[in-house]
Structure 1
Amino acid sequence: MEPTSDFDDVDRRIIAALQVDGRRTFSSLADELGIPASSVRYRTKRLEDSGTLQVVGIANPLSIGFDRLAMIGVSVRPGRAREVCKALAAMPETSYVVMTSGRFDVMVEVICRDIPHFVEVVEHGIGGLDDVVSTESLFVLEVHKLAYGWGVPGVDDD
């Protein structure tokens, strides 16, 4: 996912406001920003369509009936990390897929119903990809923070 470079201060302020409260109405954002609600709606849609912004409800998977949440380090054949990331991102069990440096080429977070589902995902889903050399799984035992509002560069928060 390539970041978009064609957004301005208004776009940054919309993103920052939605990080604080993703349920803000377009009209309340428009009032705060001093622009028409139709402009906020258009800009938000453009940011979503470009992959820059995603407004979702975040739930702790362990609290809503999923039994296994794990981070998996994936080692891949040289030069194949992007292809593996693309394949992993298409899996319904993955919630986070990143190409990394260091010990692993890719880190992926998976959310599974139970141990048999986890084994299926690791052995046949991830391990079944031709370019995957090895995996290392780390089970999440407790979630102490799920946060996605880290601010937006260039937006003054005072």
Structure 2
Amino acid sequence: MTSPVDMDDIDRQIITALQSDGRKSFTQIAEDLGIPASSARYRTRRLEETGILQIVGIANPLAIGFDRLAMIGIRTAPGKARVVCEALSELPETSYVIMTTGQFDVMAEVVCRDIEHFTNVVNDHMQGIDGLLSTESFFVLEAHKLAYGWGVGNVPGPSGVSST
């Protein structure tokens, strides 16, 4: 898990710009924010190195041949949720692993080619994780929104003041 890092309004604006267009150049970001390109480059690298920012291409898995998307609710033995999260995070099929409250201790999103692949992931990989007690699968029938640009520009900074 990433430790909190001090970010200022410029950092938040860089993240917002890259969420909107991950291929935007440092020069364009710098122009938009009124800062030197070297600052945009340095700040972006620092955000990446601290684990705050990851720049990736996001595809709709259902549109490119992965027919089985599922959210899996997982119950763990007491005190084992973090260990289970770490093990699930190592599986290439997991795209999202979180520790939660409520009915499940952990939720994981898996992306698989087909039902055979999904069955293999759950039965042969997940069920063997120490501390994992049970799973409940929720298949995605349709994806209506796959987005990661959730508006960091509107998140208050340490002073409680919104950056936009």
**Any conservation in 2 of the 1:4–1:50 contact (CA below 8 Å)?**
no
Letter in 2 for 1:101: T
Q: Which moved more, 1:29-38 or 1:99-108?
A: 29-38
Consecutive unaligned residues of structure 1, counting only runs of 5 or more, are: none
User: Cα distance, 1:23 vs. partner?
Assistant: 1.5
User: Cα distance, 1:16 vs. partner?
Assistant: 1.2
Matched, 1:112 2:120: no
What is the TM-score normalised by the length of structure 1? 0.95
**Any conservation in 2 of the 1:22–1:56 contact (CA below 8 Å)?**
yes
Large movers: runs of 4+ above 3 Å: none
| Equivalent position of 1:51 in the other structure | 51
| CA–CA distance in structure 2, aligned partners of residues 3 and 29 of structure 1 | 26
User: Cα distance, 1:22 vs. partner?
Assistant: 1.4
List aligned pairs for 1:26-37, cutoff 5 A.
26-37=26-37
| CA–CA distance in structure 1, aligned partners of residues 91 and 37 of structure 2 | 36
Q: Which moved more, 1:2-11 or 1:37-46?
A: 2-11
Q: How many residues align?
A: 156
- SS at 1:133 equivalent: strand
Matched, 1:155 2:158: no
Letter in 1 for 2:97: V
User: Cα distance, 1:33 vs. partner?
Assistant: 1.4
How much identity, in percent, do the aligned residues show? 64
Consecutive unaligned residues of structure 2, counting only runs of 5 or more, are: 156-161
| CA–CA distance in structure 2, aligned partners of residues 61 and 3 of structure 1 | 30
- Root mean square deviation, CA, Å: 1.0
User: Cα distance, 1:155 vs. partner?
Assistant: 2.4
User: Cα distance, 1:83 vs. partner?
Assistant: 0.9
- SS at 1:91 equivalent: coil
**Any conservation in 2 of the 1:16–1:155 contact (CA below 8 Å)?**
no
| Equivalent position of 1:2 in the other structure | 2
